[in-house]
Amino acid sequence: MAGQTYPVTLTGELTMPPGRWKWLIKIILLIPHILILLLFLLPAFIIVWIIAFFAIAFTGRFPRDLFDFNVGVLRWTWRVGFYSYEALGTDQYPPFTLKSVDYPADLQVEYPEKLSRGLVWVKWWLLAIPHYIIVAIFKGWGGKEKSWPGLVCILAIIAGFVLLFTGKYPESIFKLVIGMNRWSYRVCGYAALMTDEYPPFRFWDD
């Protein structure tokens, strides 16, 4: 692989061929996952982030068990996204586990033995602002007046319609969607205090 790798590694393997029509009902199939994420995992992720913030500020370390839990939440979220409208990359239903398993999509974060006690105060908001703007374009945003679904969802839906009528998923769209997701999850890992290494402004490592 040319160039340096980043501590947050996201992968997604296109399952060929995905079903032509199943993507139309995946939002219904994912209700159990959505409920678990919204009611339990994401609130717990935020609580762990707060605990980790003060742990890093005073000790320079992210407690390993808490780190592994939050990595698992990101991994779970990515698998759900890969199955649904962040990629539509597979029809294999996401597993109900935080662990890395045999699934077409995975996310890994290298554990940092030491983190900056100073950066923790600014990296997740001030330093990450340029990336937040880019990720908002990729992932979209919502508000009381207007909302924007983001390029990732739009491109995945376009690929879904191409798949519906032709039975083929455009590989160029898939590669771009994976690149945008990789960029977004790297920023998430940085903002979640999992690394001090600033996210690169690029889709791929090669």
**Helix/strand/coil (H/E/C) assignment for every residue in the chain:** CCCCCCCEEEEECCCCCCCCCHHHHHHHHCHHHHHHHHHHHHHHHHHHHHHHHHHHHHHCCCCHHHHHHHHHHHHHHHHHHHHCCCCCCCCCCCCCCCCCCCCCEEEEECCCCCCCCCHHHCHHHHHCHHHHHHHHHHHCEECCCCEECCHHHHHHHHHHHHHHHHCCCCHHHHHHHHHHHHHHHHHHHHHCCCCCCCCCCCCCCC
Give the pLDDT confidence of 99-149 residue by residue, as tens digits.
999 999 999 999 999 999 999 999 999 999 999 999 999 999 876 667 888
User: Mean pLDDT over all residues of the chain?
Assistant: 94
Give the pLDDT confidence of 87-97 residue by residue, as tens digits.
999 999 999 99
* Residue 159: band (very low, low, confident or very high) from pLDDT cuts 50, 70, 90: very high
pTM above 0.75, yes or no: yes
Q: What is the pLDDT of residue 164?
A: 94
Q: Is the pLDDT of residue 1 over 80?
A: no
Give the pLDDT confidence of 162-172 residue by residue, as tens digits.
999 999 999 99
Q: Is the pLDDT of residue 2 over 60?
A: no
Q: What is the pLDDT of residue 115?
A: 98
Give the pLDDT confidence of 39-64 residue by residue, as tens digits.
999 999 999 999 999 999 999 999 99
Mean pLDDT for the stretch of residues 16-30: 92
